[in-house]
Amino acid sequence: MKKISNVKVSTIDKGITSVLIDDASSYNSLSSVTLKSLLTVFKNLNKDNITKVIIIEGSGKGFSAGHNLKELKSYKKKKDYQKLFNLCSDLMMEIVDGRKPVIAKVHGSAYAAGCQLVASCDLVLSTDDAKFATPGVNIGLFCSTPMVAVSRKVSKKRMMKMLLTGEPIDAITAKEFGLINDFYPKEKLHDEVLSLARTIASKSNLTIKLGKRAFYKQAEMPLKKAYKFTSKVMTENMMAMDAKEGISAFVEKRKPNWKDK
Amino acid sequence: MKKISNVKVSTIDKGITSVLIDDASSYNSLSSVTLKSLLTVFKNLNKDNITKVIIIEGSGKGFSAGHNLKELKSYKKKKDYQKLFNLCSDLMMEIVDGRKPVIAKVHGSAYAAGCQLVASCDLVLSTDDAKFATPGVNIGLFCSTPMVAVSRKVSKKRMMKMLLTGEPIDAITAKEFGLINDFYPKEKLHDEVLSLARTIASKSNLTIKLGKRAFYKQAEMPLKKAYKFTSKVMTENMMAMDAKEGISAFVEKRKPNWKDK
Amino acid sequence: MKKISNVKVSTIDKGITSVLIDDASSYNSLSSVTLKSLLTVFKNLNKDNITKVIIIEGSGKGFSAGHNLKELKSYKKKKDYQKLFNLCSDLMMEIVDGRKPVIAKVHGSAYAAGCQLVASCDLVLSTDDAKFATPGVNIGLFCSTPMVAVSRKVSKKRMMKMLLTGEPIDAITAKEFGLINDFYPKEKLHDEVLSLARTIASKSNLTIKLGKRAFYKQAEMPLKKAYKFTSKVMTENMMAMDAKEGISAFVEKRKPNWKDK
């Protein structure tokens, strides 16, 4: 296990790495120290050759309360705020642009920038009593950066209700809204997350990398351009070893033997 | 209460203004007269310093049947139609671009441009027997402008079924589709709308204005650009009085005292 | 009935044409031969003056398994793959850009490019035991082109789960996700599809053509531009005979007599 300020990184199974936000006393607030640690960790994991799937989770009572309000309060200068919000956006972009699938494992609350972090991950499983909110409006600070991530998963009227009232939604609602994939009793969450991570880790690493990258890119293109782009991606994918091996294995009814694990 | 052609405007609680489409004999059709009145009313409300939340509703049997067919039938020249559809689009844009949250309070039917009006509001609550439709195809006039608003809330296949068959959906379906936030028995709708409006009116006016404007803008940007834009918005928000007061109040566990109510 | 390689085309009711993918021995795989046949068929149907609604379905055990893996395996050159994926994209674009509504009638499995074909249609009805998947990851070939169509109907986290795990979803889930409109017991599917097709075929052909085309175009525009564009479309629609006839019929409480059937 490696520990840098407020974040613990550990391998929990073959190819599966857990990133634990470990600052329970601040409800795992995304202070600038924690954001920097997370950004460093994700950059490294996206580059290494062992990690296939990343799980992000929080220690203590819940996932994350979002920005650290004491830190926000202590700042005086405009440029300090700008720097903090840019750093936070850089972390979210690193997760989206990164090459490894990221699963958020959520218990307790995921609020404000914590909710943004959840929305930025590829997949989310939570406990059945988890809560999600963009409550900035209650403290006079609209959740403007969090809504960038959340509104790309939750449709407009639902998102607007969350933003304008600041009220939390429960796990059932979050699943209905498409913000999370599923929820489980607390005692089952770990096993469910691990099982999902193992399923993904069993695939060709190369294929997953190509696919994740292409997914978010094509999502921002008009239809025709998206087809041109992904036709090229699929051709590249087909020319690589793992697709030929995978198709051969399927036709021959045997397990594939991935080269680029 | 102020009344201009076919529209009544009244303050129903502190900071909460009701806009009533009052042309029950035409099922509150969006004739050019009514559209002009609504556009004037929204422009004024978006500028005044008292209104914090706008409620739009219809008098008589239902919300609105859409364009006035007798008026449409009476026109001869192309430019008259163009003018009418542009006027209607201007109203919808004023609601979206405006600075005050708009709640649609829907009973009976919201059809065609009436459904577009509902879709253009930030939040929608309806009676449990409300109906929503884009039925233009039944009279040979595809709901082309209504679909602009509705298709940005309802996913493509669901929207296509509404457009190609012209058939209405009920409140349960409209909630599932994300077109409305919730529905209630007729006798409870007013209280629910008022309660929602009061929740929003209790927030900092400045924060809500900044937030609503940023929401619809960022929704049309690619992810990276959206983060750049909203990081700036959040910095501006943070430098304003209300965010500092809100955070102080939260940390000190007291009620915030908004400057820009 | 007309038959070209692997595809049967037949008129099943007035203005309603069935396109049957008829290669049951390969689970209606979308081989280059079948793709070429389908592209030719759709191009012709989009041009003819009789067809008002197109139904696409598969023969044998299910709808379609996607690309033909034996064919994929046999290719050696990069340009052969590129050609195949481009051909597949051309078919999907012909369906979206075409002038006639297309209903997918799905039984059994719709996998990979078969799922893409389903997602590309305007409306989808399936049997209650139908399955949908983007399982390319299992054979090392990420469903990059299928995700273009599917991710424009299914929200991001749900789509990512399908793509990263390769696991199928059932009809209930596909309806929740907005990938299909509805599902029925096997013995009722044909009647339900026919009834939906008849409803659409009873409308003005001209109106439907204008509307379908405008729908997908406006969906890719920012809001303000979309309003400008559709205001023009609605004006054109209004100046055509069928809208005037439709409005007159509605006001006079009689059935419309469409000129452009």
Say yes or no for a CB contact (<8 Å) between C200 and B160: no
Instruction: Examine the pLDDT at B261 and tell me if it is beyond 70.
Output: no
Q: Which residue is closest to A258 within chain C, CA to CA?
A: C140
Q: B157 touching C, CB under 8 A?
A: yes
Contact C19, C41 (CB under 8 A): yes
User: What is the model's pLDDT at position B3?
Assistant: 82
Say yes or no for a CB contact (<8 Å) between C247 and B139: yes
Q: What is the spatial distance between Cα C30 and Cα C34, in angstroms, rounded to a whole number?
A: 6
* Residues of chain A with C-beta less than 8 angstroms from the C-beta of B173: none
Q: Which two tokens stand for residue A192?
A: 């469910």
Measured CA distances, A206 to A203, C79, C107, C124 (Å): 9, 21, 33, 33
pTM: 0.96
Interval B30-54: pLDDT, tens: 999 999 999 999 999 999 989 999 9
User: What is the model's pLDDT at position A136?
Assistant: 97
Q: Which two tokens stand for residue A134?
A: 């963009």
User: What is the model's pLDDT at position C261?
Assistant: 59
Instruction: Examine the pLDDT at C259 and tell me if it is beyond 90.
Output: no
User: What is the model's pLDDT at position A148?
Assistant: 98
- Neighbouring subunits of A (3+ Cβ pairs under 8 A): B, C
Chain-centroid distance, C-alpha C104: 5
Instruction: Examine the pLDDT at C1 and tell me if it is beyond 80.
Output: no
Q: Which residue is closest to A71 within chain B, CA to CA?
A: B247
Q: A258 touching C, CB under 8 A?
A: yes
User: What is the model's pLDDT at position B241?
Assistant: 81
In degrees and rounded to multiples of 5, residue A121 shows phi and psi of -75, 160
Mean pLDDT over residues C130-147, rounded? 97
Q: B143 touching C, CB under 8 A?
A: yes
Min distance B28 CA to chain A CA atoms (Å): 24
Q: Which of C212, C238, C254 to mutate to test the interface with B (most CBs of B within 10 A)?
A: C238
User: What is the model's pLDDT at position C242?
Assistant: 87
Mean pLDDT over residues C27-47, rounded? 97
Q: What is the spatial distance between Cα C68 and Cα C113, in angstroms, rounded to a whole number?
A: 10
Scanning chain B, the segments in alpha helix (DSSP H) are: 32-47, 69-74, 78-97, 113-120, 144-150, 156-165, 171-176, 186-201, 205-218, 223-239, 241-251
Cβ-in-10-Å burial (0-12, 13-18, 19+) of C30 comes to: buried
What ipTM describes this predicted complex?
Answer: 0.96
Residue A207 has its nearest CB partner, among C82, C140, C216, at C140
* Residues of chain A with C-beta less than 8 angstroms from the C-beta of C137: 203-204, 207-208, 211
* Residues of chain A with C-beta less than 8 angstroms from the C-beta of B244: 73, 140
Say yes or no for a CB contact (<8 Å) between B145 and C231: yes
User: What is the model's pLDDT at position C75?
Assistant: 93
- Residues whose CB is less than 8 angstroms from the CB of residue A3 and which lie 6 or more positions away in sequence, other chains included: A9, A22
Contact B26, B62 (CB under 8 A): no
Per-residue confidence band for C68, with pLDDT thresholds at 50, 70 and 90: very high
Measured CA distances, A182 to A95, A170, A189, B187 (Å): 20, 12, 10, 35
* Residues of chain B with C-beta less than 8 angstroms from the C-beta of C233: 142, 144
- A-B CB pairs within 8 A amount to 146
- Scan for tokens 């064919």, then name that residue: C71
Mean pLDDT over residues C220-231, rounded? 97
Say yes or no for a CB contact (<8 Å) between B139 and C256: yes
Scanning chain C, the segments in alpha helix (DSSP H) are: 32-47, 69-74, 78-97, 113-120, 144-150, 156-165, 171-176, 186-201, 205-219, 223-239, 241-251
Question: How high does pLDDT run on average in chain B?
Answer: 96
* Residues of chain A with C-beta less than 8 angstroms from the C-beta of C161: 123, 181
Domains, chain B, in order of start with CATH, read 2-201 (3.90.226.10), 205-251 (1.10.12)
Instruction: Examine the pLDDT at A170 and tell me if it is beyond 80.
Output: yes
What does C98-160 look like in DSSP terms, one character per residue?
SSS-EEEEE-SEEETHHHHHHHHSSEEEEETT-EEE--GGGGT---HHHHHHHTTTS-HHHHH
Interval B123-161: pLDDT, tens: 999 999 999 999 999 999 999 999 999 999 999 999 999
